[in-house]
Every structure is written in structure tokens, then in C-alpha cells.
Amino acid sequence: MEIDVKKTAADLGVILGVMLFILNAIFYIVDIELFLNPTVSLYSLLFVIAFGCYSIINSRKKLGGYINWSDAFVSYMVCIAIGMAIASLTQIFIFLILDPVATEELNEMSLIMIKETYSSMGVNEELLQQVLIEAEKNPSFSFKNITLGLAVVLLMHVIIGAICALITLIFNKNNPEIA
């Protein structure tokens, strides 16, 4: 029986997507500022990477202990792409359909964060005003920026997935086709 790595990874990607959906819903219900918190973002990123690695390990286990680099990479990327797409659709639903006012609140909060960050770095007032004007024109939680964010995150995960797939090769059993 042939194991389909893409199907296995897609199933895990849906599970990841549901978990990220729940996480986004919790952020929205508990405190909307969590969407802007860098610590929360870091933990979310680490969770997603760990889930992608789990997808590789799960695929390797189903393949009998040996997985080649391309199958490991596909397993990681399919899982992450589906999960992150569901998370992005959740954010689009929350911020553009369910509660557009929340988008405005987050944009105001992000402008305050930008001003505080740039002021603490000693940036001159003229440059700070230019940055704030640009940020105001280009809200973080617009459809364009959510989808652009998804694309950037997926590109970042291409690199992370390639590294995870290489690391997985270290822990492989011997290739049954060679042995």
C-alpha cells in the first residue's frame, strides 16, 4: 500500500488550521492587543514550526522509518500552507467581515507602538511623521496585508521547511531500497 505524504500532511494541516482558528478566536475574545504582541507572535511561530516538524515525523513513521528530503519538505510545506491559509482566512473573516471596527482599533494601537518604538530609538520627528503617514495609509489588518503576510510567512517557511527536512535525514533509518 502506497502512503500519500501529501494527504497525510494535508490532514495535519487542517488540524493546524483549526488550532490556529481557535487561537485567533481566543485572541479576539480575550484581548485584541494579543494580535500585536511580539511575544505571542513568537510563540505562535514556534508552535507552527513544531507542528510542521511533527508532520515530517508522522510521514516518516507512516513510510516505515525512512523519508527522503523531498517527501519531508512536501510534508512540512503542505501542512504549514493549509494551516496558515485557514488562519489567514480566519483573520480576514474577523477583521473585514465580523468586526471592521477592531481593524481600526488595531491600526491605532499599531500606530502608537510605531511612534513609541521610533521615539525610543531617537529617530527625528520628520522621519517619524513619514513612517506614521505610511502606516496609516497601509493598515496591518487589511485584506491586502493579511494575504501579503501569508505569502511572506510561507516564503519564510520554505527556508525553515528545507532545514527541518535536512535535519530529519539525520534521524532516518537506512533506505530500504538500498539495503
Sites in the chain below the pLDDT cut of 50: 1, 179
- Alpha carbons 118 and 128: distance in angstroms, whole number: 7
Q: Count of domains in the chain?
A: 1
pLDDT recorded at residue 132:
82
In a domain, 135, yes or no: no
In a domain, 59, yes or no: yes
Give the residue numbers spanning the domain of 165: 5-99+141-170
In a domain, 83, yes or no: yes
In a domain, 74, yes or no: yes
In a domain, 130, yes or no: no
pLDDT recorded at residue 16:
98
pLDDT recorded at residue 100:
92
SS (H, E, C) 62-127: HCCCCCCHHHHHHHHHHHHHHHHHHHHHHHHHHHHHHCHHHHHHHHHHHHHHHHHHHHHCCCCHHH
pLDDT tens-digit series, residues 1-34: 467 999 999 999 999 999 999 999 999 999 999 9
In a domain, 118, yes or no: no
In a domain, 121, yes or no: no
pLDDT recorded at residue 177:
62
pLDDT recorded at residue 176:
60
- Alpha carbons 5 and 120: distance in angstroms, whole number: 49
